[in-house]
Amino acid sequence: MPINYYIFLSLALFCIGIVGVLTRRNAIIIFMCIELMLNAVNLLLVAFSKMHHNAALLAGDATTIAGTDGQLFVFFIMVVAAAEVSVGLAIIVMMYRNIHSVDVNFLNRLKH
Amino acid sequence: MGITQILFWFLSIVAIFSALMVISSKNPVHSVLWLILTFFSISGHYILLNAQFLAIVNIIVYAGAIMVLFLFVIMLMNLNKETEPQKHKWLRIAGAVAGGCLLLVLVAALKDTDIKHQQALVNTGGIGLIKNLGKELFTTYVVPFEISSILFLSAMVGAVVIGKKE
């Protein structure tokens, strides 16, 4: 597949995530949109990794492992996302226990 | 149009449609379920790119663990359509326009790049298999791998400390 298609698909998913963050007020939905953006980046990383692999194969190296780095980065992004979700959801639960809402507009009282 | 192209377009349409449903459905539980469908279609893309390890990890970690955590929290809080906070109409329109403008600018900037004639290898190629990834992960990337275990430990401690009742 042409790499262009993957770039545009990832851009569309990423921008949908951004629109979700900008238009929703539920903290959990905003968090889910951040996960969507992370996944769009992951998809693009895998596509670029396969693109580099293809370029190395076309250069004549039949046993190349070029492009492995991209897929390992995706693996580490997933690791970081899992840790991020556990801490973030704990913060949201704590916020819900204190103010009985998950509305991010109430969070601006953190300023004072 | 071969089977690969058909699968690519089908998975892309499913991914974008379900992503749009994530941000537009009023009920948070429906949002979670649509997001799981998005993750499954992204996993389908990984399989199409022959990144089999990442496809399985994506299903197990994202659709299996993270989304279940989201679902637990939403059901714990008893959120539903009635309690869903809504933004003002004009703010929502402004957010959609801002996101659309960003998409427009990025597409315009990237549509004439040098790499646009390059192909991503689909269906073949052994770099996404667990043999190659495991060898690389435990030789070149062994230090980040061990550090990520410390990250997990600190995240676990942090979640317990934050979530504990004082």
Helix-, strand-, coil-residue percentages of chain B, each rounded to 5: 75, 0, 25
Q: Under 8 Å CB-to-CB from A70, ≥6 apart: which residues?
A: A45, A46, A48, A49, A52
| One domain, residues B27 and B100 | yes
A9 close to B16: Cβ distance less than 8 angstroms = yes
ipTM of the complex: 0.90
* Chain B residue closest in CA terms to A37: B19
pTM of the complete model: 0.90
CATH, range A3-111: 1.10.287.3510
- Asked if A79 reaches chain B (Cβ–Cβ under 8 Å), the answer is yes
B73 close to A96: Cβ distance less than 8 angstroms = no
| One domain, residues B29 and B89 | yes
Could you give the residue ranges of the DSSP H alpha helices within B50-140?
Answer: 52-57, 67-77, 89-110, 130-137
| One domain, residues B35 and B101 | yes
Q: If 0-12 CB within 10 Å is exposed, 13-18 middle and 19+ buried, where does residue B145 land? A: middle
| One domain, residues B89 and B156 | no
Amino acid at B134: G
| One domain, residues B29 and B90 | yes
Domain-wise residue ranges, chain A: 3-111
Cβ atoms < 10 Å from Cβ of B2 = 9
Report the SS3 class of residue B127.
coil
The residue among A1, A72, A62 whose CA lies nearest residue B128 is A72
Task: Encode burial over B9-48: b for 16+ CB neighbours within 10 A, e otherwise.
Answer: eebbebbbebbbbbbebeebeebbbbbbbbbbbbbbbbbb
Residue that has been written with the tokens 């690969």 in this structure: B4
Residue that has been written with the tokens 């929290």 in this structure: B73
| One domain, residues B113 and B56 | yes
The range of the structural domain enclosing residue B83 comes to 3-125
Q: Return per-residue pLDDT of chain B as tens, 166 residues.
A: 788 889 999 999 999 999 999 988 888 889 999 999 999 999 999 999 888 899 999 999 888 888 888 888 888 887 776 666 677 788 889 989 999 999 999 999 988 887 777 777 777 777 888 888 888 889 989 999 999 999 999 999 998 998 887 6
* Chain A residue closest in CA terms to B157: A87
Q: Quick check: A23 and B111 CB within 8 A?
A: no
Q: Quick check: A50 and B51 CB within 8 A?
A: yes
In this complex, the residue of B31, B154, B163 whose CB is nearest that of residue A94 is B163
Q: Looking at CA atoms only, how far is residue A98 from chain B in angstroms? A: 11
